[in-house]
Amino acid sequence: MNTTNNTILITGGGSGIGRGLAEAFHALGNQVIIAGRSQKKLDETTGANPGMNSLTVDMTDGDSILAFAAQLTQDYPELNVVINNAGVMAPENLLDQKPGVPDVEAVIATNLLGPIRLTAALLPSLLKQPHSTIVNVSSGLAFVPLAMTPTYCATKAALHSYTESLRYQLKATSVEVLELVPPYVQTELMGEQQASDPRAMPLDAFLAEVMSLFAVDPTPAEICVKTVHPLRFAADGGQEKYAQIFNGLNDAMSAH
């Protein structure tokens, strides 16, 4: 992936990893468009980064995504990088769920249906570019789930699977498909306390390592900082080793 001379869309670009990536790519001179539901967060980010633009979209709503994609390709016909980063994460007590599990449906719509719908809507335009890139942001928890957030982890595992299939189907085209696999990072994904949790990787360190991996030629299909390797490759050690990692992760996180 070229890290310069791009027109880049980043969903969920108003905070956390999305904002960090937006600012990093913006600093390299790319045209960056961030998207999300919160106009306030989008305005705060673009206000701090002159030249960065934004559009609102509800990633849980298929019609909103179609309208957004049409506006985006009209306003930015040279769009050649899409980073599907928007995501929500919430704890769930599976022994005490609300009828119809509406919260679960929102997580699935945002984390899985959203990227699939947006990719489908933008792919015809991306295929017209000399070279373009789709980056799907999954998680180390796609490979070793955190039991307290079962639906989040399931959506990220599904997004990983979808990304592999997408990459295979597009292998003869000009569209490159990458997967960014974050570890536990100091953001506010699970609340303000996460941003200062010493167990989480500092956001600046994560971004620095990620940007260096994006710049590798050829860019690895999976962007994995070293901190996430124990989760990403947990299954490589066999079932017993995997069980140790799974239980260790969940025991440690449930103890706090």
The catalytic residues are 152
> Cα 97 to the chain's mean position, in Å?
27
44 membership: H or E segment, kind and range: helix 39-48
The residue type found at 52 is M
CA distance 29 to 27: 5
The residue type found at 236 is D
Direct distance between the N- and C-terminal alpha carbons of the chain, in angstroms, rounded to an integer: 39
With contact defined as beta carbons under 8 Å apart, do 230 and 183 qualify? no
Q: Which burial class, exposed, middle or buried, applies to 172 when counting CB atoms under 10 A from its CB (0-12, 13-18, 19+)?
A: exposed
